[in-house]
Structure 1
């Protein structure tokens, strides 16, 4: 199974830190933010990882290299200008293959066990679903949430919980999208939800959206206790 880490964002809310350093390379504890994802994916047995980049992407490739430091192999999808989430994934599909794959935002800190998504990926084909999303309790900065979770595990297009930026997608979700063109993920997910083709789970463990300098400081304090 393969995974993709989204690392192309400019990080406007974290300027001036991101003027010289891409957001996924900002440090939390002993690692760049993206390093914790690489470590967790390797521990889950996911060794093939695609990383997209745009802003200061040369720094990302220089720091992460082949991925050997974390026990993974990294392939890079360079975008030039950021293509938004769906556009970035559609552009990277030739690197991701034809099977369901994990996607995680490069600017979150979480101890979510990625091995759980391997089982979720196996079910997507069997149940004709297009995505499986990890949802979390709403943080203070996003109190309304994004989606809700039905009793049968379907994700519904109604506020309730927050999308964690962690999920599994079937390549068919991106059918019809042209590579190298900007495209948003939310409309694709909502269309699939309307067909009952998105499952999900509610994760109650550690999750932080590291979207501001203040939240980076919090993430750094948390990660200082990790190895």
Structure 2
């Protein structure tokens, strides 16, 4: 199957007992189309890079480097089988449910063209949180998801525009290093070898690199 968008998913405000913010937009539902744009900084920006998509905890989510979240339908199918549940597109909080492209094989800095005009850049993994665990309702979900190691990818919006179900996805630029999304996921979770690999590639902004350097220093002291 050629790489394409299966659904474009948008969330609205719902109660959230897992965090003090008291609301969440994690349960996203397919829409006919949506505009992607760069939302600005995480704190003080417009939140999601998908116009109309709700983000409550803007200290932890959203902003230019977490503007759009992509997750493969193939991974949803894996979890359906493993958990014996039904997972509709958008049900784990992804804005773009894809097919025919291995989202987790993407390198940090890869760029995709979606449809005719929209261009996005792969920026990193999704880190599971209390809201995600509550949404799934699976005992030990954060650990289970993390051990599987395929988180899907956050995307920055480089060229804004409208995306629709059925839009093709084309990889138009491949990064010149070997750091893929799972490697950055492992680095976030404390894997020292992965952290060193990310730092050596210099594929993240300085504030992210500083976090990894601090982690390495603490763990080795």
Query: How does the TM-score come out when normalised to structure 2?
Result: 0.28
Query: How does the TM-score come out when normalised to structure 1?
Result: 0.28
